[in-house]
């Protein structure tokens, strides 16, 4: 009996000792892993695969693209990665030094999902680098293509040599030590009217950022729900980006299920919206395949200037020149309520609300609303000019100005006066040309913009999202078979409800 007892004690002691030893090894391994991960260089190159390769390269705002084909098991590829990332940090990510010029990406040919994609480019060794216009990558490459727009980089085995090769191609003088927001090539937005064409990407960025802020700060409440619905209606109908129109409509299709009208009435004002916010985060309101994180038209010379606020202004101006006359007052209300409820800068929000409250009579035409918004923007600029001059907080390369300057619209200002006297007819013509026609020109070139119209049902007077998804779903169904299936499902769930709809003409979603 005692022998059995001591055998059990011995086994228990051995088990405990081995467990402690294993646990110690696990802790040490975790510490080592954490220390090691802290020293790893950050990945700036965008990882692509066969499922998103064409979409990302088609939609990027960058002028050039660089694709590295590699294999994760290849020692030479692992050694080359730090060199590639040193160059990628200059062009990719939210802190890119020279954004919007080169999109640097990587494709792992060792993954089975990428086998056909790598064969399409006749990848014969690792790493293999390709350079060219982003839209030209969809056709692939082979060595016998004499007229291919893609080039194989044969002199980029170090970060220095790769960047020198890029500099020769685009006539630049970038260096590996270049710091963020010290870009001597940054040009003021008034010098080149064509730069507004690139702002469509900033409008997408601003829309996505605004949506993220609303969710992160849990700003959807019983008193703000209706204003968000109306603004999403506006985006689904008139956003300059087709991606954002689709994304806004998809949010509307699901909004009633995720955020029902009686959500607060049954439980009071203290409602846990964590689950709702988590699900809404899965909706990419302006698409998920486009690499984001830098500003194009709205980029400031300092990290704390322009950016989101500029993108939001461009969004509002672009909406103002896309609406119909009958939508002018509802658009005014939607924009004012959205800024008042969801713009997180308290002073800016209050000032905008005061400008909205000063309007005493409803707008009857789209022209009236567009010119009011233009005038309001100048009022904001005039106020900020004085504050930034006294506090020296403005962007030295983008000082606030009364807009548009003569460089952009000589006919907008009448001559022969010491003070600016605006020709409002010419200003409105300029707004249409600048924010409606030129703004989307890059999308037209890439075939991302549909110009045909679609008639759908929309109830602007309702504060309930239920009236919206039907219209949004119908528009989506006409534009996309995938969304059509979703619309049919939604309608099948709503057979017992009765709605009253008013016919409106919306842009193709």
Q: pLDDT tens, 461-507?
A: 333 443 334 344 334 434 444 444 444 444 444 333 322 233 233 34
pLDDT at 66 over 70: yes
Please tell me the predicted confidence (pLDDT) of residue 16. Answer: 42
Of 375, 280, 367, the residue nearest 326 (C-alpha): 367
Is 259 annotated as catalytic?
no
Please tell me the predicted confidence (pLDDT) of residue 178. Answer: 86
Are residues 51 and 113 in contact, defined by beta-carbon separation less than 8 angstroms?
A: yes
**What is the pLDDT confidence band of residue 58, given thresholds at 50, 70 and 90?**
confident
Distance from C-alpha of 318 to C-alpha of 425, rounded to nearest angstrom: 18
* Residue pLDDT, tens place only, 337-357: 999 999 988 999 999 999 999
Q: What is the average pLDDT across 16-37? A: 35
Please tell me the predicted confidence (pLDDT) of residue 303. Answer: 72
Q: Which of 77, 298, 310, 336 is catalytic?
A: 77
Of 76, 100, 78, 96, the residue nearest 88 (C-alpha): 96
For 10, residues 6+ apart whose C-beta sits below 8 A from its C-beta are none
Distance from C-alpha of 51 to C-alpha of 159, rounded to nearest angstrom: 29
* Residue pLDDT, tens place only, 410-456: 999 887 666 789 999 999 999 999 999 988 887 776 665 554 433 33
- Helix axis angle, 424-432 relative to 366-391, nearest 10°? 90
Distance from C-alpha of 354 to C-alpha of 333, rounded to nearest angstrom: 13
Distance from C-alpha of 441 to C-alpha of 435, rounded to nearest angstrom: 10
Both tokens of residue 343? Answer: 């713009």
Please tell me the predicted confidence (pLDDT) of residue 446. Answer: 67
The residue that leads in pLDDT, 480 or 78, is 78
Where along the chain do its domains lie?
A: 1-40, 46-170, 193-264+271-448
Please tell me the predicted confidence (pLDDT) of residue 198. Answer: 81
Strand duo 502-507 + 453-458: pairing: antiparallel
Residue 489 phi/psi, 5° resolution? Answer: -60, -45
* Residue pLDDT, tens place only, 159-203: 999 999 999 999 989 999 987 654 444 555 554 666 788 888 899
Percent of the chain with pLDDT over 90: 46
Of 205, 211, 301, 296, the residue nearest 248 (C-alpha): 211
Q: Model-level pTM?
A: 0.71
Note the CATH number of domain 46-170: 3.40.30.10
Is 77 annotated as catalytic?
yes
Name the average pLDDT for the chain.
78
* Chain mean position to CA 210: 10
Q: What is the average pLDDT across 213-235? A: 93
Cis peptide before 404 (omega within 30 of 0): yes
Distance from C-alpha of 366 to C-alpha of 51, rounded to nearest angstrom: 42
CATH architecture classification, 193-264+271-448:
Up-down Bundle (1.20)
Using CA atoms, how far residue 163 sits from 185, 226, 280, 381, 416, in Å, is 17, 51, 41, 40, 52
Are residues 497 and 464 in contact, defined by beta-carbon separation less than 8 angstroms?
A: no
* Residue pLDDT, tens place only, 117-144: 999 999 999 999 999 999 999 999 987 7
Q: What is the average pLDDT across 214-239? A: 93
Please tell me the predicted confidence (pLDDT) of residue 155. Answer: 86
218: left (phi over 0), alpha (psi -120 to 50) or beta: left
Please tell me the predicted confidence (pLDDT) of residue 449. Answer: 58
């Amino acid at each position: 009996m005692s022998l059995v007892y001591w055998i059990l004690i011995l086994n228990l002691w051995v088990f405990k000792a081995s467990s402690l030893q294993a646990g110690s090894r696990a802790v040490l391994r975790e510490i080592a892993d954490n220390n090691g991960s802290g020293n790893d260089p950050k990945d700036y190159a965008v990882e692509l695969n066969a499922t998103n390769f064409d979409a990302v390269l088609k939609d990027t705002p960058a002028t050039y693209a660089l694709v590295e084909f590699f294999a994760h098991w290849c020692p030479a590829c692992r050694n080359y990665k730090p060199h590639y990332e040193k160059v990628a940090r200059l062009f990719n990510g939210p802190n890119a030094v020279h954004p919007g010029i080169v999109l640097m990406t990587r494709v792992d040919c060792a993954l089975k999902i990428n086998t056909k994609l790598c064969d399409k480019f006749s990848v014969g060794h690792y790493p293999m680098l390709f350079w060219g216009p982003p839209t030209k990558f969809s056709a692939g490459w082979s060595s016998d293509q004499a007229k291919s727009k893609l080039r194989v980089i044969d002199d980029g085995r170090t970060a220095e040599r790769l960047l020198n090769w890029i500099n020769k191609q685009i006539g630049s003088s970038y260096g590996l030590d270049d710091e963020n927001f010290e870009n001597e090539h940054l040009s003021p937005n008034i010098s080149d009217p064509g730069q507004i064409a690139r702002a469509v990407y900033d409008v997408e960025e601003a829309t996505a950022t605004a949506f993220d802020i609303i969710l992160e700060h849990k700003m959807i409440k019983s008193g703000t729900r209706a204003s968000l619905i109306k603004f999403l209606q506006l985006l689904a109908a008139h956003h300059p980006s087709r991606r954002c129109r689709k994304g806004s409509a998809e949010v509307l299709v699901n909004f009633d299920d995720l955020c029902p009208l009686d959500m607060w009435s049954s439980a009071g004002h203290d409602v846990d919206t964590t689950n709702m916010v988590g699900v809404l985060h899965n909706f990419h309101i302006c698409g998920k395949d486009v690499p984001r994180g830098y500003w194009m038209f709205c980029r400031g010379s300092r990290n704390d200037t322009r950016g989101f606020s500029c993108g939001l202004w461009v969004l509002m101006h672009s909406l103002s020149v896309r609406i119909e006359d009958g939508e002018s007052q509802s658009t005014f209300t939607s924009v004012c309520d959205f800024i008042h409820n969801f713009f997180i800068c308290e002073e800016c929000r209050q000032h905008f609300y005061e400008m909205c409250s000063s309007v005493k009579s409803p707008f009857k035409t789209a022209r009236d609303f567009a010119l009011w918004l233009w005038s309001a923007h100048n009022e904001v600029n005039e106020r900020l000019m004085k504050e930034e001059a006294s506090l020296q907080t403005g962007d030295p390369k983008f000082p606030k100005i009364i807009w548009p300057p003569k460089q952009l619209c000589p006919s907008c200002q009448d001559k022969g006066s010491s003070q600016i006297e605006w020709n409002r007819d010419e200003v409105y013509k300029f707004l249409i040309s600048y924010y409606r026609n030129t703004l989307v020109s890059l999308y037209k070139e890439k075939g991302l913009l549909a110009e045909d119209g679609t008639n759908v049902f929309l109830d602007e007077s309702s504060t309930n999202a239920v009236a919206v998804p039907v219209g949004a779903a119908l528009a989506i169904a006409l534009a996309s078979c995938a969304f059509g299936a979703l619309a049919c499902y939604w309608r099948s769930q709503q057979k017992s409800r009765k709605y009253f709809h008013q016919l409106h003409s919306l842009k193709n979603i």
